[in-house]
Homo-oligomer: A and B are copies of this chain.
Amino acid sequence: MRKVCVIGVGMTKFGEHWEHGFREMVVEAGVRALDDANLHGEELEAGFIGTMASGRLIGQEHIGALIADYMGLNPIPITRVEGACASGSLAFRQGYTAVASGMHDIVVVGGVEKMTDLGVNEVSDILGGAGDQEWELFLGATFPGLYALMAKRHMLDYGTTEEMMAAAAVKNHKHGAKNKYAQYQNEITIEQVLKSKMIADPLKILDCSPITDGAAAVILAPMDIAKKYTEKPIEILASAQASDTIALHSRESLTGLRATQVAAKKAFETAKLQPKDIDVAEVHDCFTIAELMAIEDLGFFKKGEGGKATLDGRTALDGEVAVNTSGGLKSCGHPVGATGVKQIVELAWQLRGDKETEGRQRKDAKIGLAHNVGGSGATAVVHILKGA
């Protein structure tokens, strides 16, 4: 398999884009990525797009063809990939495989979701389709409820506190406040999180990622060609994906995601690296407890120590590993299909030392990790990237 690089990235602002449609957002992110790679559309050979629920959210399936059309890219093949909130990273993985295999040279990968055209209850029901519809959603278990169960068990087993969880949100808002693409660009305090409205005990509204519109795109090329387009190609050292039971009640443990553990192990083996080698990581903080579990499951901290590590600032910009410099899902926003691709956009900026990360640049960032989860952990995807 060939070495594959990210040679261009772009994204829309994440937020409530009532004035922008699904199609416009994809085009905006795609054009920015092409500009960033100094590419014209006709140089693209194929594309992959991650979107979770366009059928239910906007009545439109067949998103790959739609995007080929609206990006002016016909007749090149563009394929939609779906894995709930991990759809974006799965699309990235297909793009990686297509280039690594030699099937295509230059490939675009996008992620998009248009979520705010519907009411919050309807969106919550649609997102429930990421879990077990028959055995969870149908019986009333929405995602805040499922993650609340994990949080309660983590608190019981390891003494994790609500303050520790809140610390993840506070850190991520601190980063998001410096990110002009973020949905929420305001800092918050631990006290504000603790006093915010209860959603599913112990998770309060400021423990939860929001409902968001947005799109992100990246351009991939094999290493030898990449250098024609950029002085700073970002190499993909590893791509790993794993599955777990779709329903939470079938798992052996509620305090970690096995799919993350399996995918991380494989990714580190492939990259011949260890958790301590990672400078900057975008992890899947759909809820604050998810970030705490992620930094444990990825091997940055021992199981049960993620909460204290977060409270102690060990995942801050100047910590042992800078986690969610984009603001994460919590502050940057979570347009579900776009999130996995946005993580790659942020890592590319960090590893290049791009001006986009001003005020939230991890010093001397060389190795980055992206961690994207589908549902309550039935899919996990881990990518490891290296700066030039």
Contact = CB atoms under 8 A, between A and B. Distances in A.
Interface of A: 1, 52-53, 55-56, 58-66, 68-69, 73-84, 90, 93-94, 97-98, 100-103, 126, 128-134, 137-138, 241-247, 250, 258-259, 262, 374-375, 378-379
Contact of A66 (B52, B98, B241, B378): B378
B75 A262 contact: yes
Contacts of A79: 81, 83, 90, 93-94, 241
15 contacts: A53-B55, A55-B55, A64-B83, A64-B90, A64-B243, A64-B379, A65-B246, A65-B375, A73-B243, A74-B244, A75-B243, A75-B259, A79-B83, A79-B90, A79-B93
A250 B61 contact: no
Contacts of A55: 53, 55-56, 126, 129
A101 B1 contact: yes
A134 to B, nearest CB: 8
Given A55-B55, A82-B80, A131 B243 contact: no
Given A75-B258, A82-B80, A90-B79, A66 B246 contact: yes
Contacts of A1: 101-103
Given A97-B103, A241-B79, A62 B131 contact: yes
A91 B80 CA distance: 10
Given A79-B83, A241-B79, A244-B74, A378 B69 contact: yes
Contacts of A262: 75
Contact of A59 (B66, B69, B80, B129): B129
Q: Which 9 pairs across A and B sit closest by C-beta, in order of nearness?
A: A101-B101, A65-B378, A77-B241, A68-B243, A62-B84, A61-B129, A60-B133, A75-B242, A75-B262
Contacts of A52: 61
Contact of A62 (B58, B69, B74, B374): B374
A125 B50 CA distance: 23
Q: Within the oligomer, what is the number of copies of this chain?
A: 2
Q: Describe A's contact surface by its main secondary structure.
A: mixed
A128 B58 CA distance: 12
A375 B101 contact: no
Nearest to A80: B82
Nearest to A126: B55
Nearest to A79: B90
Contacts of A97: 94, 97-98, 101, 103
Given A137-B59, A241-B77, A83 B65 contact: yes
Contact of A61 (B62, B101, B130): B130
Contacts of A374: 62, 65
Contacts of A246: 62, 65-66, 69
A82 B66 contact: no
Contact of A56 (B56, B98, B245): B56
A175 B81 CA distance: 34
Contacts of A93: 79
Given A61-B84, A97-B98, 6 more contacts: A56-B56, A61-B129, A61-B130, A62-B129, A62-B246, A78-B243
B243 A74 contact: yes
A75 B244 contact: yes
